Structure 1
Amino acid sequence: MEESPLISVIVLCYNQENTIGRTLDSILNQKTKYSYEIIIGEDASPRDNTRAVCEDYAKKYPEVIHLLDKESNKGILKNYSDCILQSRGKYIATCAGDDWWSNEDKLELQVSFLESNDDYGIVYTDLSLINVDTGEFKIDFNRSNQKDMPSGYIYKELILENKISACTALFRKQLFLDNINLIEFKSLGFLMEDYPMWLELSQHTKFKYIPVSTSTYSIADGSLSNNNEFKKIEEFELNCNIIRTHYIKKYPLSDIDEAYLQRKLYKTLILRGVVRGDYKEARLYVKKIPTTSFKDLIFKIICSTPAVILFSKYLKHINCA
């Protein structure tokens, strides 16, 4: 009988013909004593040859790579769920088809930790960022931005901000099976799988942050080259708030309520708009913030007058938003 791999690596891809090969190579190049498989969920890419590239890799590495059957476009939640159902590993790692693992020791480092620490269920790491529009590359993003990355039971920290990039994470599959229902996520209107997963699992296990960069995450440039960019940012942040609001009702915190989250959402969208020069869009949210202090008043005046241009330059200088 064929022995099951210890790790299942899930690769979700859609219209990523030019990058999926790099992603798969970075996984195949892992230096680890632990066995692993790669489950590819190629979601019926309509505009390029992503599936053909995946088929070539599956033929070349049949013992390692399993490509899910082609179906009509399923969406990220159903696609991820199907990959989980096909996986055989004790541990699950993920990497999107436009990201890649830039550290050959990623799996070895993370699985070795979880194998020795039963009270932890998820381990994540630092990462690097590449801007696909400008080519700008930021190494060790968390460390270079002096981000305080939490370990342990981190529910409150996750409610305030999701600092975990999915491509850096590895978790115990049984935790997922016991606690996560992706179809329910879809019915709740969630547009992503990772953030609600972290919030739910933070109630059941400890998280471990390892300050080593293992992955490179691709981002796109701002609205200067894409007039619809703020709409995408707005959709993302609004959905994050739907997720946070759901969990703050399910698992309440004494010092964070829906009003706090709503105010936080507005400020986030204001800052994201200002730093990109989307002043008109930002001002729509400035009007929604109640003025409860002198600091609020000054903030609203700055964002509603020509002073916002200087504020935008300052935000870019400190790498905000």
Structure 2
Amino acid sequence: MNKNPLVSIVCTSYNHGDYIAEAIDSFLMQKTNFDFEILIYDDASTDQGPRVIQEYENRYPDLIKPIYQTENQYSKGVRVEMFNHNRANGKYIAVCEGDDYWTDPYKLQKQIDYMEAHPNCSMTVHAADRVLSDKKKILSTVRPEKTNAILSMERVIEGGGDLVATNSMVYSKEKITELAPFYLNATVGDYPMVILAALHGTVDYLDDNMSAYRVGVKGSWTERELATSMKRINHYHDMEKMFDEINEYTNFQYSDALEKAKRGYQFSLLVEQRKFKEAKSGEFRQIYLELGIKQRVLMGMKRYFPNVTESIRKAKWKFVQ
């Protein structure tokens, strides 16, 4: 068994039994001139997920290294991503959740070649398709730039959690040796990780579509954590707190970008609280004016037909941009 892989693939899974095999197969298909390990963390799934993972572990015992929890740790407030991060032996860490998958067999090779040639780079990301969970119909593409580019800290902060696909991320564990409090305290993991990477080097976007992530997965984080108005309100407050922590951590170096991002969540909070007049005026006026037609229509429906809007939200994969 190789104890010194160059890359650690980290995969967190919870009730991804219908999808985890495709994720693992997309790891196994990677063609590289270096060794990698596959670290899978299952957070006490109640479906067939653990059985599927174990079948792969039995076939590739030197490559696939799972952790099987008997009690769900996420529900206890544990930062479950840390289980794989802390045991990763690789110089680089590649991320993919159990309900997503990679589409290019040379994905890892391309990203690692780039990072080895650019020592200032702390993370690479790339384009990815959003696909419908069961039919894999392509709904849209995550493509923050139309060419290879270095994403500035301001771009990363203001771009929000949807700027890059989580399963496109490969980051340097050597550069990100210490996980900042704002990351550990956050209720989301991917967005603050990109910000953290930008603090320790460059975040470089490769304009190559090499993965897909599913939308509308039953039991997903979005479904569990944003299912009700109160949960969404709490989420918006949590994000505001995260921006304040980042601001303090960075000695207010990026105050303008952080305050702009914070206003975006405050705008969403006003809409959620049905304070539409406030959302369209004052410091939030520009945010409203920059909304697309679809967002404005949905905002109007939320104001006058809240029950219809909630039904649309439950079928949100139809409205992904």
Confirm or deny a common fold (TM above 0.5): yes
Task: Give how far 1:65 is off.
Answer: 0.5
CA distance in 2, matches of 1:242, 1:293: 19
Please tell me whether the aligned partners of residues 13 and 42 of structure 1 are also in contact (alpha carbons under 8 angstroms).
yes
**Cα shift readout 1:266-302 (whole Å, capped 9, x = no counterpart):** 43467xx7xxxxxxx4633x24437338967x96x99
Task: Give how far 1:217 is off.
Answer: 0.7
Residues 52 and 148 of structure 1: CA distance in aligned 2, closer, same or farther (over 3 Å):
same
Q: Tell me which residue corresponds to 2:112.
A: 111
Return the letter of the residue paired with 1:194. D
CA distance in 1, matches of 2:29, 2:100: 15
Return the letter of the residue paired with 1:292. G
1:201 partnered with 2:197: yes
How many residues are matched?
Answer: 295
Return the letter of the residue paired with 2:209. S
Residues 149 and 156 of structure 1: CA distance in aligned 2, closer, same or farther (over 3 Å):
farther
Residues 153 and 283 of structure 1: CA distance in aligned 2, closer, same or farther (over 3 Å):
same
Task: Give how far 1:170 is off.
Answer: 0.5
Return the letter of the residue paired with 2:52. V
In structure 1, list runs of 5 or more residues that go unmatched: 274-280
**Cα shift readout 1:9-44 (whole Å, capped 9, x = no counterpart):** 001001111111111011001111121100011111
Residues 282 and 147 of structure 1: CA distance in aligned 2, closer, same or farther (over 3 Å):
farther
Q: 2:274 aligns with which of 277, 280, 283?
A: 283
Report SS of the residue matched to 2:79.
helix
Task: Give how far 1:149 is off.
Answer: 7.9
Report SS of the residue matched to 1:228.
coil
Matches within 5 A, 1:1-321: 2-45=2-45, 47-75=46-74, 78-132=79-133, 136-138=137-139, 140-142=141-143, 147=145, 151-152=149-150, 154-162=152-160, 163-177=163-177, 179-181=178-180, 185-186=183-184, 188=185, 190-220=186-216, 228=227, 234-251=233-250, 252-253=252-253, 256=256, 260-268=260-268, 281=272, 283-284=274-275, 286-289=276-279, 291-292=281-282
Please tell me whether the aligned partners of residues 248 and 257 of structure 1 are also in contact (alpha carbons under 8 angstroms).
no
Q: Tell me which residue corresponds to 1:277.
A: none
In structure 2, list runs of 5 or more residues that go unmatched: 290-295, 310-315
* Greater alpha carbon shift after TM alignment, 167-176 vs 212-221: 212-221
Please tell me whether the aligned partners of residues 91 and 172 of structure 2 are also in contact (alpha carbons under 8 angstroms).
yes
CA distance in 2, matches of 1:294, 1:27: 44
CA distance in 2, matches of 1:9, 1:307: 41
Residues 307 and 104 of structure 1: CA distance in aligned 2, closer, same or farther (over 3 Å):
closer
TM-score by length of 2: 0.76
Residues 262 and 32 of structure 1: CA distance in aligned 2, closer, same or farther (over 3 Å):
closer
* Greater alpha carbon shift after TM alignment, 191-200 vs 110-119: 191-200
Q: CA RMSD in A?
A: 3.9
CA distance in 2, matches of 1:85, 1:305: 46
Return the letter of the residue paired with 1:5. P
Please tell me whether the aligned partners of residues 128 and 212 of structure 2 are also in contact (alpha carbons under 8 angstroms).
yes
CA distance in 2, matches of 1:139, 1:4: 38
Please tell me whether the aligned partners of residues 122 and 170 of structure 1 are also in contact (alpha carbons under 8 angstroms).
yes
Residues 92 and 267 of structure 1: CA distance in aligned 2, closer, same or farther (over 3 Å):
same
Return the letter of the residue paired with 1:88. N
Return the letter of the residue paired with 1:283. R
* Greater alpha carbon shift after TM alignment, 47-56 vs 229-238: 229-238
Please tell me whether the aligned partners of residues 32 and 109 of structure 2 are also in contact (alpha carbons under 8 angstroms).
yes
Please tell me whether the aligned partners of residues 11 and 40 of structure 1 are also in contact (alpha carbons under 8 angstroms).
yes
Residues 161 and 282 of structure 1: CA distance in aligned 2, closer, same or farther (over 3 Å):
farther
Q: Tell me which residue corresponds to 2:312.
A: none
Return the letter of the residue paired with 2:53. C
CA distance in 2, matches of 1:97, 1:3: 24
TM-score by length of 1: 0.76
Q: Tell me which residue corresponds to 1:276.
A: none
Report SS of the residue matched to 1:283.
coil
Report SS of the residue matched to 1:213.
strand
CA distance in 2, matches of 1:58, 1:265: 42
Residues 239 and 218 of structure 1: CA distance in aligned 2, closer, same or farther (over 3 Å):
farther
